[in-house]
Amino acid sequence: MSHTSEPAVPVVHSPAQRLLDRLAGIAIAIAATALVGLVVVQGWQVFARYVINDSPSWTEPVTLLLLSTAMSLGAATGVHTGRHFGFYLLAEQLPRSVRRVLDVARPLLMAGVGMLIAGWSGVLLLDGLDIKAAGASMPQSINYLPLSIGGALICVFALNKAWLVLQSARNKEA
């Protein structure tokens, strides 16, 4: 039997879980809006270049910011919903005790990666705030803002997954 998502974790309707669900909903709405914005900006770029013959310089940095936003927030929401890429075939063949350890280790590893992304992209964001982007009046490092937010969300959502797995294991033992 193969999985297309993470191992089943019981749905918990605690206030914290509802808050995280709402946060994920907001993140995916922003990511979807960024994708629509990306299409509009690139559409304008093509129209301006080939019809008006006056290619705007601001479209490239804005496109990169929108792409960074869609990717970062979409990835974080994927962690929350369990719709991220994973290798479950090997884990299914392991003994139950090893699978339990992996079920906790996997979200903890994701949390660590999210923390690294948030931390280092925050450093890069702050480092380049005083440098203007070519072609747009925004800081060159603004693309790191959504990466930092997305990394923090990945960390929070993954820690929640680990907590839910631990709670599920505790409830099975009781």
Mean pLDDT computed over 97-125: 92
Contact 96, 171 (CB under 8 A): no
pLDDT in tens, 11-51: 547 888 899 999 999 999 999 999 999 999 999 999 999 99
Q: Which residues contact 23 (CB under 8 A, 6 or more apart)?
A: 153, 156
Q: How many percent of the chain have pLDDT more than 90? A: 63
Number of Cβ within a 10 Å radius of residue 21: 14
pLDDT in tens, 125-158: 999 999 998 888 899 999 999 999 999 999 999 9
**Which one, of 74, 61, 90, 69, lies nearest residue 28 by Cα?**
74
Give the per-residue pLDDT at 1.
Answer: 41
